[in-house]
Amino acid sequence: MAQLNSKIPAGPLAEKWTKYKDSLKLVNPANKKKLDIIVVGTGLSGASAASALGELGFNVKVFCFQDTPRRAHSVAAQGGINAAKNYQNDGDSVYRLFYDMIKGGDFRAREANVYRAAEVSNQVIDHYTALGVPFARDYGGTLINRSFGGVQVSRTFYAKGQTGQQCLIGVYSSLSRQINLGTVKMFPRREMLDLVLVGGKARGIITRNLLAGDLERHSAHAVVLATGGYGTIYYLSTLAVGSNASAAWKAHRKGAFFANPSLVQIHPTSVPQLNEFQSKLTLMSESLRNEGRIWVPKEKADKRHPNTIPEEERDYYLERRYPTYGNLVPRDVGSRAAKERCDAGYGVGKTGLAVYMDFRDAIKKQGKSAIESKYGNLFKMYQTITSINPYEEPMQIYPAGHYTMGGLWVDYNLMTTIPGLYAIGEANFSDHGANRLGASSLMQCTGDGYFILPYTITDYLADEIKTPRISTDLKEFEEAEKNAKARLEKLISINGTQTASTFHKRLGKIMWDYCGMVRNEAGLKKAAGLVSELKQEFWSDLKVPGRMDDINQDLEKAGRVADFFELADLMITDALNRTESCGAHFREESQTPDGEAQRDDSRFSYVAAWEFGGDGNPHVLHKEPLEFKEAEVKVRSYK
Ligand SMILES: Cc1cc2nc3c(=O)[nH]c(=O)nc-3n(C[C@H](O)[C@H](O)[C@H](O)COP(=O)(O)OP(=O)(O)OC[C@H]3O[C@@H](n4cnc5c(N)ncnc54)[C@H](O)[C@@H]3O)c2cc1C
């Protein structure tokens, strides 16, 4: 049985990373050329890792299921990216960013990893600026910042509401440079179907060529998963519809522990669901809460047009309940407060499942053009979707599934419990505890890829220089390919009546209702039964039209949904196990008299890392205790 060893270096928190880096082994340039690395994923984490490793001189093969790296989900990130530059001179520092993240995550993240993420944030911004990312600047040309939820400083760098897109273009340019130099080989339209282990180490992957349908074997001395988050398990979410858990899940089945799977962030400001036929929800960036005031009418079921409701009849409930942070409370707090108002009958819009985000006062104070220059593209997007002009009347918003703090367990080196298998970016669990603060994911993804993994993976590969290139003729590859093929054949052969999307939608509804924004024991137990029944129905009534040896998007989807069923079961198990509330995980049984999350540090100050127990067997729980030596553990309050 694998043992958990987080490998956190000794020494003072602020010096750990610097000292540790100096002690890591190096590989000389001639040997680097003999070492192969597979990177799966081309979002900010994967593309930055692949280009950094290529620049170092390793042979890198990088994979994505889209037709170009530029379509990775990271392109959708809107609001910004954090760094502790303190350009605003408002008291920011690496320590404060670290502390905000630890507190924002409700003291369920590892101190050493979070401190390191905050530390490299400044390198990330310098690097992006050098790559030409057009971050917003003031009239004098200096980079400017805005605020995000859960903090009292302005440390968020941004490019209008397209920060992810602009950063991805920067990362893509460095990736393209390496592709041109021949150090990185790009494999688009490939889906990783399985991980291959040889002698207990990660040595390769099996992929499906999504255009031709054939299966391929790829080998390497180490494998990096940068495959993003699994918030799409709810079907409706703010993520790209293609985002999925399959690569991480396949690694989990082969021995990589899955940490805190039930810790999922629900974002408070999504465009509400408009009809039953939607396949996704659209985010309205958190940055809008810098200017937008959130409110509902004081009267229940008030059907008046919002512009006709006078000031004294509006309940700015975040400003009322949380005077210190107001509309900039963290996402979990903002989401639950919106749900509470809607459940109590104050919701607005056709369904009553919406609250207002109002820019009237900001426009009055700053002028329409100032608001347009900061958020113009978001306002346009909102108007295109809803036909409501947000310059003239408030936006309607509601919480939606958004980001997964859970993911593959990794140690300080970002290595999973499988030797030679790394997980970076949203695919790992490491830095955000029970709730991620806004704009800290792009920061973590890029920090992992450009500034952390290149050091730690080199240390691992230093012991592999005598390992010859791995042959894909080994029996382990043959067997993994055979199993992947058999699974695809099984999915096609069911030949039932319901599509994978139908099952996904039904699964998503169960997860949203019982393992979403709020959870309780009875609901979670009910969900476990419903998921199990639906899973059986899936395997007996799924319809996958088309062939395996051809382009077949239904088959791709079916494989991903099949994995979601297994992950759903683990999420429910994890949520049942954690009887405390913490961050985004709100167990109704564990709340303060005024409805806030109540942690139970004496019993749950640990990372829950789950080991796959084999089909039909329960998962095995391993606990990584969390120690807080620098950050004072307190009740999290934003009042
Ligand atoms: C709407 C929205 C807005 C956001 N805005 C912000 C923001 O402003 N600031 C911020 O910090 N964070 C933001 N986030 C979060 C942030 O965008 C993500 O956490 C981050 O981009 C994830 O990057 P990644 O590199 O880990 O993965 P992704 O960008 O999701 O990339 C995953 C990659 O893995 C590949 N892949 C996955 N599975 C397979 C497989 N089986 N085989 C082959 N390839 C595979 C995909 O093709 C893709 O290339 C936002 C999230 C959403 C949903």
**What backbone torsions phi and psi does residue 536 show, to the nearest 5 degrees?**
-65, -40
CA atoms in the 13 A half-sphere facing the CB of 472 = 14
Residue 50 CB coordination number (10 Å): 34
Helix (H) or strand (E) holding 459: helix 453-461
Probe ligand 1: pick from 71, 73, 444, max atoms within 8 Å of CB?
73
Domain count for the chain:
2
How many other β-carbons are positioned within 10 Å of the β-carbon of residue 384? 9
Q: Is 442 in the pocket of ligand 1 (CB under 6 A)?
A: yes
Verify that 271 and 398 share a domain, yes or no. Answer: yes
3-state secondary structure of 498: strand
DSSP notation for 532-586: HHHHHHHHHHB---S-SSS--HHHHHHHHHHHHHHHHHHHHHHHHH--S-BTTB-
Q: What confidence score (pLDDT) does residue 56 get?
A: 98
- Cα 445 to ligand 1 centroid, rounded to whole Å: 9
Q: Whose CA is nearest to atom 53 of ligand 1?
A: 239
What is the DSSP secondary structure assignment for residue 515, as one 8-state letter? H
CB neighbours of 365 closer than 8 A, spacing ≥ 6?
A: none
CATH number of the domain at 339, please. Answer: 3.90.700.10
Most ligand 1 atoms within 8 A of CB, residue of 39, 62, 64 to mutate: 64
Give the DSSP H/E element, type plus range, for residue 608. Answer: strand 606-611
520: in domain: yes
Q: What residues in the chain have per-residue pLDDT under 70?
A: 1-3
Calpha distance 586→573 (Å, rounded): 15
Helix, strand, or coil (residue 256): coil
* Residue 174 CB less than 6 A away from ligand 1: no
d(CA 167, CA 131): 9
Do 394 and 296 have their domain in common? yes
Residue among 303, 229, 217 nearest 266 (CA): 229
Q: Are 550 and 499 in contact (CB under 8 A)?
A: no
The last residue of one of the domains, among 358, 387, 402, is: 402
> 31 in a domain, yes or no?
no
Question: Reduced to 3 states, what is the DSSP secondary structure of residue 74?
Answer: helix
Type of residue at 604: F
Distance (angstroms) between ligand 1 centre and the Cα of 229 equals 6
- The domain that holds 576 is classified in CATH as 1.20.58.100
What is the rounded distance in angstroms from the CA atom of residue 205 to the CA atom of residue 136? 40
**Ligand 1 atom at minimum distance from 426 CA:** 26
Residue 275, pLDDT score: 87
CA 85 to chain centre: 24
Q: 386 and 271 in one domain?
A: yes
Strands (E), 166-249: 184-187, 190-198, 201-209, 215-219, 222-225
Predicted local confidence at residue 1, as pLDDT:
55
193 CA to middle of ligand 1, Å? Answer: 19
Contact 623, 608 (CB under 8 A): yes
Q: Looking at the CA of residue 193, tell me the nearest atom of ligand 1.
A: 41
Residue 250 domain flag: no
Does any domain span residue 146? no
Q: Is residue 72 part of a domain?
A: no
- Contact criterion met (CB below 8 Å) for 89 and 621: no
Q: Which residues, 6+ apart, have CB-to-CB distance to 97 below 8 Å? A: 82, 83, 84, 118, 121, 155
Measure 10 CA to ligand 1 centroid, in angstroms.
32
Same domain, yes or no: 594 and 479 = yes
Q: Which residues are identified as catalytic?
A: 331
In this predicted structure, what is the pLDDT of residue 637? 84
Q: Which of 39, 70, 74 to mutate to test the pocket of ligand 1 (most atoms within 8 A of CB)?
A: 74
122-159: string of b/e by CB count within 10 Å (b at 16+)?
bebbebbeeeebebbeeeeeeebbbbbbbbebbbbbbb
Which domain-ending residue is among 367, 402, 437? 402
The token duo for 150 is 């859960």
Residues 276 and 392 in one domain: yes
- Give the domain-ending residue among 383, 402, 421: 402
Provide the token pair at 292: 């937008």
- One domain, residues 384 and 489: no
DSSP-derived letter for residue 591 is B
Helix/strand/coil for 336: helix
What letter represents residue 585's amino acid? H
217 and 100 Cβ atoms separated by less than 8 Å: no
Q: Is the CB of 271 under 6 A from ligand 1?
A: no
Q: How high is the pLDDT of residue 638? A: 82
**CA 316 to ligand 1 centroid distance, Å:** 33
The CB of 452 under 6 Å from ligand 1? The reply is: no
Closest CA to 51 of 28, 68, 69, 65: 69
| Residue having the nearest C-alpha atom to atom 30 of ligand 1 | 228
188 lines ligand 1 (CB under 6 A): no
Has residue 69 been placed in a domain?
no
- Is the Cβ atom of 379 under 6 angstroms away from ligand 1? no
The verdict on 393 and 479 lying in the same domain is no
Protein residue with least CA distance to atom 21, ligand 1: 74
Distance from C-alpha of 519 to C-alpha of 509, rounded to nearest angstrom:
14
**Ligand 1 pocket member 403 (CB < 6 A):** yes
How, if at all, do strands 36-40 and 59-63 pair?
parallel
Amino acid, single-letter form, for residue 290: N
Q: Are residues 479 and 592 in the same domain?
A: yes
Write the residue with the smallest CA distance to atom 10 of ligand 1. Answer: 439
Same domain, 356 and 479: no
Residue 570: domain span:
475-606
Which residue minimizes the CA distance to atom 37 of ligand 1? Answer: 227
**Pocket flag, ligand 1, residue 268 (CB < 6 Å):** no
End-to-end CA distance of the chain: 45
Ligand 1 center from residue 86 Cα (angstroms)? 27
Same-domain check for residues 398 and 479 = no
Partners of 283 in the β-ladder: 270
- For ligand 1, atom 12, the nearest C-alpha belongs to 441
Ligand 1 site, residue 410, Cβ cutoff 6 A:
no
Identify whether residues 486 and 590 lie together within a single domain. yes
Q: Is the CB of 206 under 6 A from ligand 1?
A: no
| CB neighbours of residue 111 within 10 Å | 20
- Are 398 and 276 part of one and the same domain? yes
- Ligand 1 centroid–CA 41 distance in Å is 9
Q: Is 417 in the pocket of ligand 1 (CB under 6 A)?
A: no
